[in-house]
Each structure stands twice: as C-alpha cells, then as structure tokens.
C-alpha cells in the first residue's frame, strides 16, 4: 500500500513540475499540455508496473480496458475543451476589434470634422494650422494625440498626428492589444501586427483607411 501511495505522490509532483516547464507567455494551454502528457505517460508506466502483479488474466484485461477507455475520453474531452477555448478567444478578439474600431473612428472623426467645419467657415488658415491651434495642448512632442484620453490615462488606443500641413491632416489610431490582419505589419508606434486605421482630412472632407 505504501508503494502505491509513493507512486501517487510521485505522479502529482511530476505533473505539477511539468506544468511550470513551458514559458509563461500569457496562455495556459502549453502548461496544461505539458502536465497532461506527463500525467498520461506516468499513468501508463504505473499501469504497466502494477498490472503485472495481478495473477488473474481477466483482472488484467478489465483494468487495462477500463484505463484505456478513461484515457480515451479524457483525451477527447481535452481536445474539445481546447477547441472551445480557441473559438472563445477568437470571438473575444473579434468583439474587442469591433469595439476598438468604433472607438477609433469616433476619436478620429470628431477632431477632423471640427477642423473641416472651421476651414469652410471663412477661415484663411490652412487645415494643419487650424488643427494645431485647436488641439495643440493635446499633442505631445512625439506626436501622440491625447484626444479622448481618460483621466486615469488608461486607453486601449494610441492616437498619433501623422501629418498636419496646409493641405491635409492625418490621424492614426492604433490598438495596444488587438491584432490586425497581418502579424508583420509595422505600426506607427513601432509595435507590430496591431490593428491600425487612419483618418485623412483634406479640403474635400474626411476619408478613412484601415491599414491593418
């Protein structure tokens, strides 16, 4: 009985250790996979060792058959759980992308349309001059545009003033977390693969272009 207890303790320790072997990259699946493989291999070794101690061939078949069925259903359950988790993650990413798309277009639209209205309201100044004069206090030295920024400074989007000339103003909205269409896309901030859209103001109006 003590030997079985030691085997159980050993299995728990090995499985726990295997869980922490993969690099913790924000996803729990690599750790779960490592722990599961270790547990299955350990149980197979345990089964091979202890089944030999049974004197009855029928008991051996029953034990082996029962363990095989349990392992099969456990593996099937693990696969189903993984696929479900992947689908949920994709759905969550799509929801985030939709929300941030709406926010980004809103943040781009308001300052550009206000500048456009002022430009066509008899102003003799260029578009860039009008935009800067109105929003200069919200533009940092590295062209970060703090329009719509919350008081706690926590925002899912980065806004950049990419261009402000007499003929046009370009604002780029970039997500901090949500990925875009291409993982190798170079974002305005220097990040890679994030969702990005820009608004372009000219004397004819405002156009939008999704860049990633």
Residue 53 in 3-state DSSP?
coil
pLDDT of residue 195 exceeding 70, the answer is yes
Is the Cβ–Cβ distance between 162 and 180 less than 8 Å? Answer: no
Let me know: does 98 contact 118? Beta carbons within 8 Å: no
CA distance 176 to 196: 10
- Per-residue model confidence (pLDDT) at position 191: 92
Separation of first and last alpha carbons in the chain = 62
Distance CA 27, CA 2 (A): 37
Residue spans of the domains in the chain: they are 2-90, 103-210
72: confidence class by pLDDT, cuts 50, 70, 90:
confident
Instruction: In whole angstroms, give the CA distance from residue 111 to residue 160.
Output: 12
Q: How far apart are CA 44 and CA 208, in angstroms?
A: 59
pTM, to two decimals: 0.62
pLDDT band at 174 (very low <50, low <70, confident <90, very high): very high
CB neighbour list of residue 157: distance below 8 Å, 6 or more residues apart = 100, 103, 104, 107, 173, 174, 175, 176
Tens digits of per-residue pLDDT, 140-157? 888 899 887 655 556 778
Q: What is the DSSP letter of 202?
A: E
């Amino acid at each position: 009985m003590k030997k079985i207890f030691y085997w159980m303790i050993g299995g728990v320790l090995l499985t726990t250790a295997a869980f922490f072997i993969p690099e913790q990259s924000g996803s729990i699946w690599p750790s779960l996979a490592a722990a599961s493989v270790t547990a299955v291999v350990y149980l197979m070794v345990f089964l091979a060792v202890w089944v030999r101690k049974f004197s009855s061939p029928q008991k051996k078949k029953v034990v082996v058959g029962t363990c095989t069925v349990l392992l099969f259903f456990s593996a099937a359950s693990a696969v189903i759980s993984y696929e479900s988790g992947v689908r949920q993650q994709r759905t969550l990413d799509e929801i985030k992308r939709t929300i941030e798309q709406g926010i980004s277009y809103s943040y781009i639209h308001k300052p550009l349309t206000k500048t456009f209205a002022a430009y066509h309201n008899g102003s003799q100044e260029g578009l860039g001059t009008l935009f800067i004069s109105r929003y200069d206090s919200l533009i940092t030295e590295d062209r970060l545009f703090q329009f719509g920024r919350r008081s706690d400074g926590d925002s899912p989007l980065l806004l950049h003033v990419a261009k402000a000339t007499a003929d046009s103003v370009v604002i780029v909205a970039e997500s901090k977390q949500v990925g875009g269409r291409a993982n190798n896309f170079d974002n305005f901030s220097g990040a890679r693969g994030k969702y990005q859209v820009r608004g372009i103001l000219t004397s004819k109006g405002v156009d939008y272009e999704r860049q990633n």
